[in-house]
Structure 1
Amino acid sequence: MAIQGGKYIKVAQGVEIFVQDEGNGDPIIFIPGWTFTSEVFSKQVEHFRKTNRVIVIDPRSHGKSSITMEGNDYVTHGSDLVKVIAALELKDVTLVGWSFGCLTIWEYIRQQGTEIIKSLVFIDLSPKPLSINHEQNWVEGPLDEIAAAYTHYLHNRDKQREFISGYATQVMVQRELEAYELNWLVEQSLKTPHYIAANLFASGMFSDYREEAKLASESVPVLTVIAEHWADIAKPFTEKLTPKSSIEVLGGHLMFWEHDEKFNKIMEKHI
């Protein structure tokens, strides 16, 4: 199901954020990961709009939102989220972030605290994505591999397509994707130009939100959903950093799309 329609919220001069807003009840905001769009949450929109007010956004320079040369970092993405929530006059909000979308939420908490937050769902990202001690910490990969991804794949559109295609088939989804599914996933990502994708990649990798992750878990109910492929490291890392958070292990990096029924049931218990 593709998400249709929606509205735009101005967050800066010449910058508008695309927002899909459906249903009634306690609000849930879904925030997609690096270069992806609100479309990836279509199965959650369809499910949760029956019981909740469901809001999905395209962060700046993603999807239907404004493409801009300014603010392509997660500090600004957090500020944009602050403005979206204020414009919609929300309270008792459940925030759901996938991958680098988690960074947007942690940055929101750094700026605003947890006062209007009801609960939090973090999907498959460490609050410190990069470390030289990659064998002991939950990170996106060894430093040399991350550097190679940045220098080799994120400086032209064709290489960006190759990078996303490989990541989708090897990390995001466990089953073999149909050609149309892979094309759809890649095209979602390519809506963010490669030069902006590179900025966001660097901004995300150099982030450290461990203190915000601790604060969140001590303040409101927190659910962390971890992909199976790195659960052996990610689960104990999360248990040590945020011992009060609930942890679930499911599928690959895009488990909420591939295993949507299981994921939605897990989320229902939490919110």
Structure 2
Amino acid sequence: MQYVTNDGVTIDYDRLGEGEPVLFIHGWASSASTFRYQLNYLCDDFLLLAPDLRGHGRSAKVTRGGRISRLAMDLHELLEHEGLQRVSLVGWSMGCSVIWNYIDLFGEGRVNKLVFIDEIPFVLGTSSMMIDWSNAELDVRPLTNLYKRFIPELTRETETANFISSMLKTASPTEREEVIATAKLASSFSAANMIINNNVTDWRDLFKHIKSPTLLVSGSASFFRPEFYEWMGQQIFDCRIVTKKGAGHFLHLEEAEWLNPILLDFLGG
């Protein structure tokens, strides 16, 4: 399936199943294909939508709109295109930021439930900044390192493969190859600009305003510390937290047998 955004970009998306709608949003340098285990598991119970973000996967490669706010607008336009008035949103990694930006812009009027998989609201923050707002000072050194590393080198396949591989824990050789191949499909413009925009944006002030039932999913071996999710859970009005011991960042791919029943129970409950 495809639709065209208001700035003329063609977005490709998967659509399968019937029932209450659930929309999956993938992360940086990824695609909807990494949700295949969830789509296959849940398609008998829900209408499932999973777009490839602009500049990623099968969607158009672009040299404009490399910002989370533009991705949030693309999400809004997909809901308009499908005529959906009520939908649950599932985000993984940067996909969570897309949802947060969508809520910031359009509110929760169309939102049924929310699932955030392994992402925190201020990637360049520290654990102390989560607890004490007065400590919220931006350390420019990580930002400088991101620019130095990703913008010049994202077009180098070895660098992309090494970075993606570092986030995988238990993926099979085939899964690892597929994830790396998918990452290489992302345009260098989109990948470089979106990772910077995502990592410097601070969404913490949004969380106390989220009223939709929310599920936070994390892996204890991911690069995000447990106290981040504890803080998020304290801010959100109706929130449940689940953590998979020993799991890394790609929970939806590597821990699907654990995650899928949890999603079915939460989304269908």
- For normalisation by structure 1, the TM-score amounts to 0.87
Q: How far is 1:135 from its partner?
A: 4.2
Number of equivalenced pairs: 257
Corresponding residue of 2:233:
239
Tell me the equivalent position of 2:213.
Answer: 221
Q: CA deviation at 1:244?
A: 3.2
Q: Conserved in 1, the CA contact under 8 Å of 2:216 and 2:229? A: no
2:153 aligned to 127, 151, 156, which one? 156
Contact 2:54 2:61 in 1 (8 A): yes
Structure 2 counterpart of 1:174: 169
**In structure 2, C-alpha distance between the alignment counterparts of 1:89 and 1:223, rounded to whole Å:** 25
Cα separation, 2, equivalents of 1:179 and 1:268? 28
- 1:83-102 to structure 2, matched below 5 A, reads 83-102=77-96
What are the ranges of 5 or more consecutive residues in structure 1 without an aligned counterpart? 1-6
- Of residues 94-103 and 143-152 in structure 1, the stretch that sits farther from structure 2 once superposed is 143-152
> Which moved further from structure 2: 234-243 or 19-28?
234-243
- Distance verdict in 2 for CA 1:269–1:225, change over 3 Å: same
Kindly state the Cα deviation for residue 13 of structure 1 after the two structures are TM-superposed. Answer: 3.8
Deviations 1:74-94 (A, max 9, x none): 011101111100110112211
User: 1:39 and 1:91 mapped to 2: Cα distance?
Assistant: 25
In structure 2, the partner of 1:30 is: 24
Structure 1 distance, partners of 2:164, 2:149, is 18
Distance 1:74 1:103 in 2: 7
Could you say which residue in structure 1 is the equivalent of 2:136?
none
Unaligned runs of 5+ in 2: 131-138
- Structure 1 residue 240: deviation in Å? 3.4
CA deviation after TM superposition for structure 1 residue 193, in Å = 2.0
Match of 1:4 in 2: none
With over 3 angstroms needed to count, the CA separation of the structure-2 counterparts of 1:246 and 1:178, relative to structure 1, is closer
User: In structure 2, which of residues 94, 97, 106 is the aligned counterpart of residue 103 of structure 1?
Assistant: 97
Q: Percent identity, aligned pairs only?
A: 24
Q: Is the 8 A contact 2:16 2:49 kept in 1?
A: yes
Secondary structure at 1:12's aligned position in 2?
coil
Match of 1:47 in 2: 41
| Counterpart-to-counterpart distance in 1, 2:158 and 2:195 | 15
